[in-house]
Amino acid sequence: MKPANAGKRGKPANLRARLYTVLMVLVLASTALVVRAVDLQVVRKDFYQDQGDARYLRDIPIAVSRGTIFDRNGEPLAVSTPVESIWGNPQELLANPDRLPGLAKALGVSTDVLTERLLQRRDKEFLYLKRPVDPDAAKEILALQIPGVASERAFRRYYPSGEILAHTLGFTNIDDRGQEGLELAFDDWLAGKPGVKRVIRDRLGHVVENVEMVREAQPGRDLTLSIDRRIQYVAYRELKAAILEHNASSGSMVILDVSNGEVLAMVNQPSFNPNAKGSAEPAFRRNRGVTDVLEPGSTMKPFTVVAALESGRWKPDTPIDTTPGKMTLPGGYTIGDIRNFGPINVTRVITKSSNVGAAKMAMSMTADHMYDVFHRFGFGEVSGCGFPGESPGLLPVAKVWGPTEKATISYGYGLSVTPMQLAQAYAALANGGRLRQPGFVRGATNPDSAVVDPHIAGQVIAMLETVVGPEGGGLKAAVANYRVAGKTGTSRRAVGGGYEKRYASLFAGMVPASQPRLVGVVVIHDPGGGRGGVYYGGLISAPVFSKVMNEAMRLLDVAPDNVQRWYAGSPDMGHTLGPMSPPPDYPPDQPNYEEAVPQ
């Protein structure tokens, strides 16, 4: 029996159709490949190039050194030293957990802390691991060859004078940008502009090839200050010694060059080391010379006298009766002197620091006139020195002055000033009645402006010379071989609408008085630890002025103006020029150093 399909023959295979089909598939595939190649190489070339570059091509900054700060004699005060910054790729580091303990040990942290930091930035490709790092220490870390760890050049600020210039210079942050002081004030000048270069990095972060320079680096510019490091050191040394000797809480000293308004020294206590600023209390970083205000006490009396002389109703020898040493104002407020000076004149109001005399002169003038004179000398506004955070102090407007306000302001209560403002005002007197803004840059243009008649300024300077004489309270401010003009001041600290029994001791003066070259202001807070005892400005601050100015006159080679001349008895000896004997050291209980402090 035959099978059902035994008589049927199968159709021959269509080999040609199959061949065409295969060829068509190959042509289409080839076309797709060509189209894709064109798309990759031509149409979207830039996109894929960027994607590739993003994995290996990097724009990295070129660190620049910050400009060096010099003192007026070319001594470096702030310099930048090269350091390294260790950084890593969190993604790569987390992919190699076995290498983290070694890296943590090299960085000086625990493995847990390092791991936590990496996990917090695991979606990033860059994380600073440690900075700044000494170059030798950085080499040791890189020698571990841990994937994802690299370094870049940076700079760190170093201050050779340490705490002596800390408040004046300020400091920079970890990115080498100014944060306080002159580093902040002149940050744009000093910082420069970092450059940028494009490089190819391998998977370990190492630079394989420098591709191109994107932006040239512009190093910071140097800055020459008016500060004299030698005088700054002397001022710092003597202020600190006085603070320790009298168990005071703080103090400041500012020294100005009368001829141009340049700041030669500005020191504060307590201070801090800007090279290790993290260990200092925030309060220690405050530049009290320009930020802290106080009531200036009797150091304001010369400006009350200026206003009185300018009014035309008073002259240096105009009599004032201060009997019985007290004065009661409308409203019952009583002003008192340390004792009854009796009938005196305007000059002796300054010599004896009479509150009653100053108040009586104030009562003869209008509040508007007194305010105008004080404001002309710079009180109530910033000095213009450009120091960051400078306080304008407080000079109440004249329309709020009643009899009590007028009287108390005349001897330095009811207004507040900074040591810099006080130095600026005394420098205006020393400059023949012409005011200049204090400046910290050597040789900067600094025009002055007339604020009072030079004849009146000269009269007041002559009065201030008597303060440093045998009858005045500032005898301890005397400088051998030089005439000194100045004024002591003692004020109580204001708190909560009243005054506490804590004092500020002041001395403001100029030397040599015949042709003033330097003006200095010394302020010491809380002598005796705020527990009473000796606190008069003539005993606390005046000696600091004397010691500092004695050294400053020598360093600046200023000619003496008070050398004692005598003629020997024998004609054979001729004329002899000898130094003036230093002033006698009166005991503290002598009345010369005392002044009335309102209670």
311 as an active site residue: the answer is no
End position of a domain, from candidates 176, 198, 223: 223
**What does the pLDDT profile of the chain (599 residues) look like in tens digits?**
555 555 555 566 677 788 888 888 888 888 888 888 887 777 776 676 666 655 566 666 777 889 999 999 999 999 998 888 888 888 888 888 888 898 989 888 998 989 888 898 888 878 889 888 888 888 888 888 888 888 888 888 999 999 999 999 999 988 889 999 999 999 999 998 877 777 666 655 566 666 667 778 788 999 999 999 999 999 999 999 999 999 999 999 999 999 999 999 999 999 999 998 766 677 788 899 999 999 999 999 999 999 999 999 999 999 999 999 999 988 888 999 999 999 999 999 999 999 999 999 999 999 999 999 999 999 999 999 999 999 999 999 999 999 999 999 999 999 999 999 999 999 999 999 999 999 999 999 899 999 999 999 999 999 999 999 999 999 999 999 999 999 999 998 877 767 888 899 999 999 999 999 999 999 999 998 656 578 999 999 999 999 999 999 999 999 999 876 433 333 333 333 333 333 333 333 344 567 777 76
| Together in a domain, 287 and 205 | no
End position of a domain, from candidates 180, 198, 223: 223
Query: Which structural domain, as residue segments, surrounds residue 119?
Result: 59-223
| Together in a domain, 209 and 233 | no
| Together in a domain, 211 and 85 | yes
| Together in a domain, 335 and 369 | yes
| Together in a domain, 178 and 265 | no
Do the domain assignments include residue 19?
no
Q: Which two tokens stand for residue 250?
A: 């703080």
Which of 161, 298, 354, 541 is catalytic? The answer is: 298
CATH, residue 125: 3.90.1310.10
Do the domain assignments include residue 313?
yes
Residue-wise pLDDT tens digits, 37-67 = 887 777 776 676 666 655 566 666 777 889 9
| Together in a domain, 361 and 303 | yes
| Together in a domain, 387 and 419 | yes
What is the number of domains present in the chain? 2
Separation of alpha carbons 120 and 94, rounded Å: 11
End position of a domain, from candidates 223, 247, 262: 223
| Together in a domain, 571 and 536 | yes
| Together in a domain, 316 and 432 | yes
Do the domain assignments include residue 465?
yes
Q: Are 462 and 316 in contact (CB under 8 A)?
A: yes
pTM of the predicted model as reported, rounded to 2 decimal places: 0.82
Cβ partners under 8 Å of residue 287, min gap 6: 167, 168, 180, 181, 266, 268, 387, 389
Do the domain assignments include residue 1?
no
| Together in a domain, 297 and 404 | yes
Total Cβ atoms within 10 A of residue 525: 22
Separation of alpha carbons 272 and 270, rounded Å: 7
Do the domain assignments include residue 215?
yes
Under DSSP, the state recorded for 549 is H
Do the domain assignments include residue 501?
yes
Do the domain assignments include residue 582?
yes
Radius of gyration from C-alpha coordinates of the chain? 38
| Together in a domain, 495 and 560 | yes
Do the domain assignments include residue 464?
yes
Separation of alpha carbons 485 and 509, rounded Å: 5
| Together in a domain, 150 and 268 | no
Residue-wise pLDDT tens digits, 86-132 = 888 888 888 888 888 989 898 889 989 898 888 988 888 788 898 88
Cβ partners under 8 Å of residue 114, min gap 6: 100, 103, 104, 107, 129
CATH, residue 494: 3.40.710.10
